[in-house]
Amino acid sequence: MATYTFRCPTCQCFDVVQPMSDVRPQHPCPECGQEARRVYQAPHLSTTPTSLRRAADTAAASAETPTVVRSIPGGAGAPRRPRWSPVTGGSAVNASRRARGPHQQLPRL
């Protein structure tokens, strides 16, 4: 859906929201019923999602005056916990101390 602007010869401009496939160069005026001509301009497509717009604004602002981060920003969440491994269990895997083999058998479920 897009918003198109039409200009009535006697009334004011008005907007019509309709699919791009249905748009015509003329549309009846909602007030007087005369055929109003379309005002050609960039269609007002749906707006950018809020999160995407904020990210773009932040990136644009940071490009001009980069902010120095001295601590983890709020809302970043806790650091990720190490994944469970059948070899090391819940402890972190250190590649230098990893067993070269033969490896333990995986537990039967």
**Binding-residue pattern over the window 8 to 47 for Zn ion, x denoting contact by CB under 5 A:** x--x-----------------x-xx---------------
Total residues in contact with Zn ion, by rule CB under 5 A:
5
Give the 3-state secondary structure percentages of the chain, helix then strand then coil, rounded to 5.
Answer: 20, 25, 55
CB nearer Zn ion, residue 18 or residue 34: 34
Nearer to Zn ion, 14 or 88 (CB): 14
d(CA 74, CA 8): 53
Yes or no: say if 56 and 63 are a contact pair by the CB < 8 Å rule.
Answer: no
Should residue 2 be labelled a site residue for Zn ion when binding is judged by CB under 5 A?
no
Distance of closest approach, residue 30 Cβ to Zn ion, in angstroms: 8
Quote the tokens at residue 12.
């004011």
Give the residue with the Cβ less far from Zn ion, 26 or 91: 26
DSSP code string of 44-59: EPPPPPHHHHHHHHHH
Residues that bind Zn ion in the complex, under the rule CB under 5 A: 8, 11, 29, 31-32
